Structure 1
Amino acid sequence: MGAAALLRGPGPSRMRASLGCWCRRFRAASGGVAAAGSPVSGARSPFDRQLKRKQKNWAALQPESAKYGYLREEVGSSLAERLFDITKTFPLALDVGCGSGYIAQHLTKETVQRLFQVDMAENALRNTVETEIPTVSVVADEEFLPFKDDTFDLVVSSLSLHWVNDLPRAFKEIHQVLKPGGVFIGAMFGGETLYELRCSLQLAELEREGGFSPHISPFTDVNDLGHLLGRAAFNTVTLDTDEIQVNYPGMFEIMEDLQGMGESNCSWNRKPMLHRETMLAAAAIYQEMYGSNDGSVPATFQIYYMIGWKFEESQARPAQRGSATVSFRDLAKINAFISGEKK
């Protein structure tokens, strides 16, 4: 089946007016590039998606853009490990917000036979790494997946969905494009991400300017995440969290790396600029509150990992409440019996 056969019907209100300018020839061997568009964000949306696209495109064009991919590579590897725990082969998979292929580089043909990669930044797709898996790259906004329902056996997404304006809708879109029995495996930044930077900037602004503005984008709470996946009709949902701490020479190096990752703030209510004195004060506060003996400062990235399945009749279902034949009170007797057997 060709790539075009998997796309939804074009609909002028849902496709970019300049669709043709995004189309590129299919690349030999590794796949091709198709194109699709995104709806215009509403005035009440928290993020400026056009600015985020510009940030990601700018980051992808930098001469040493690969050196800023260390965090995405680590999370992409962890996400792939969770996929390997599912002992089955996925004929057709989708990577939402793929960047330069941070998940794809860890996959094998034995796990995924064909992969569609979607990102809103066309420059990021030009930098995707070559893999043994046949791939097709699609320029599209993660808020609107331009694929037909019940298309993919697997959908993955790593460190992209925290920038979407309508996360419930994004989860519903992912659920719709999955086949019955398909699985979604994703990773997002959690609420404790960059708390050191957030606190330092707020204290510096309070001291120098008498108030503070948000400089770190809002993140979803893990409890809300499980609820949103359930509302999107995913079942057998699994959530777990992890923390990655990276040491930097100072606060300005953290902000430089965030810009290189394409992770600069794009909230509509962001402050347009920070005064030099405020920035210097924030760097000093950061060093004083969180600095290590060797002069470095830590930056914490909290990662939420999620797994959800689309219902299929053949799927195993949880037992009915009250159907258990053994009480939890009997567990102590079982442990005592096992201990006695070992003696």
Structure 2
Amino acid sequence: MSSAVCRRVLQTAGSAPAASSGSWSRIVSSCCSRLRAGPRNEARRGMSVSGRGNMNVFNREMKKRQKNWAASLQDGHHYDYLRDEVGCRVADRVYDIARTFPLALDIGGGKSHIAEHLSKEVVERVFLTDVSEKTLMRQSEMPTHRVLADEEFLPFKENTFDLVVSSLSLHWINDLPGALKQIHQVLKPDGVFIGAMVGGETLYELRCSLQLAETEREGGFSPHISPYTAVTDLGNLLGQAGFNMLTVDTDEVQVHYPGIFEVMTDLQGMGESNCAWNRRSLLHRDTILAAAAIYKEMYGNEDGSIPATFEILYMIGWKPHESQAKPAKRGSATVSFGDLSKISQPTNTNKS
């Protein structure tokens, strides 16, 4: 691959009804140079169970190193196109709420991908956290209070924030139910949580191509794409964490690349490489070349590019408060459905 310029096209495809409105399709052109060797993969390990009794799927220390490495790239801003797009959509959902938030918390948003789209008229003060110290060091136009913190262990008191937001960070958390409960705790009553995470069938083209190539060349396949949360599970997780007045919707964003190598390069540049404990540490050259051919054959576009699909799950949940509207008690209705059907029937009138 000799081209120095990589043209990426972001498209919103078949999205479900969302809280925000407007067209979000756009074309993003950026220069991308060849990356140096990425973070050294560790030996393959099996999934373990943490001391708290939760499944330990992801190596959080490796994810920290991956994000630090991505933040140290001189041209790192060229890989922020997806985070900028999703951060803008999360900020748009904040604007849909007709109120001012004195104090907000952005979880896992080191480069201010959400905060840079917010105004002081809507959010007066923002605390921004990230597990990566180098990501937090990146400057942004929006003034924020930056705190080095793991998304799984929020160092804040209960009932502190009026708003909590998060964009493309929660899909790397081992204990998602526990993290949502912590978010619920740090919110003030009648506070709102607005989040976005990668989920569903994200990168199914890359997953399928690697599995088929590995099966053909090596007689079996290993996981190379991390597991993702299904949209059908989000409502239950938010409800179990204590949120009410829930909204869950999904967008499908497709990014078009010249080939599979550009897909994998950009994932590294985003800090989105796989960090699951059971990942395979090495991909053979023959397997990668076979996967590239399968990718283009199965999913390639007429212009020679290939699509990579990202399914973005959006969630909104409120911390309960006595001022919020509540559903009527069961059996409190004063009119039956039978009576309503009689009312709606047209009256026959005969004119002589």
User: TM-score with structure 1 length normalisation?
Assistant: 0.82
Question: Partners of 2:346 and 2:269 in 1: how far apart?
Answer: 57
More helix by share: 1
Match of 2:136 in 1: 125
Match of 2:71 in 1: 60
Gaps of 5+ in 2: 1-48, 348-352
**What is the percent sequence identity of the aligned residues?**
65
Greater relative contact order (CA < 8 Å, ≥ 6 in sequence): 2
SS at match of 2:102: coil
Q: Does the aligned pair in 2 maintain the 1:96–1:117 contact within 8 Å?
A: yes
Match of 1:179 in 2: 188
Match of 1:158 in 2: 167
SS at match of 1:115: strand
Question: Partners of 1:92 and 1:313 in 2: how far apart?
Answer: 21
Letter in 2 for 1:59: A
Q: Does the aligned pair in 2 maintain the 1:97–1:142 contact within 8 Å?
A: yes
SS at match of 2:237: helix
Give the CA RMSD over aligned residues.
Answer: 2.0
Shift of 1:135: 1.6
Mapping of residues 224-243 of structure 1, within 5 Å: 224-243=233-252
* Counterpart selection for 1:218 from 227, 230, 253: 227
Q: How many residues align?
A: 295
Match of 2:101 in 1: 90
Cα gap change, 1:333 to 1:105, in 2 (>3 Å): farther
SS at match of 2:124: coil
Gaps of 5+ in 1: 1-40, 338-343
Question: Partners of 2:164 and 2:294 in 1: how far apart?
Answer: 42
Mapping of residues 274-313 of structure 1, within 5 Å: 274-313=283-322
Shift of 1:318: 2.2
User: What per-residue deviation string (whole Å, max 9, x for no partner) do you get for residues 28-70 of structure 1?
Assistant: xxxxxxxxxxxxx938510000000000000001010001000
Cα gap change, 1:330 to 1:48, in 2 (>3 Å): same
* Counterpart selection for 2:81 from 60, 67, 70: 70
* Counterpart selection for 1:318 from 315, 327, 350: 327
Question: Partners of 1:225 and 1:96 in 2: how far apart?
Answer: 18
User: TM-score with structure 2 length normalisation?
Assistant: 0.80
Shift of 1:122: 0.7
Shift of 1:329: 9.7
Question: Partners of 2:134 and 2:193 in 1: how far apart?
Answer: 26
Letter in 2 for 1:82: R
Question: Partners of 1:145 and 1:89 in 2: how far apart?
Answer: 23
Q: Does the aligned pair in 2 maintain the 1:188–1:303 contact within 8 Å?
A: yes
* Counterpart selection for 1:248 from 257, 264, 284: 257
SS at match of 2:91: helix
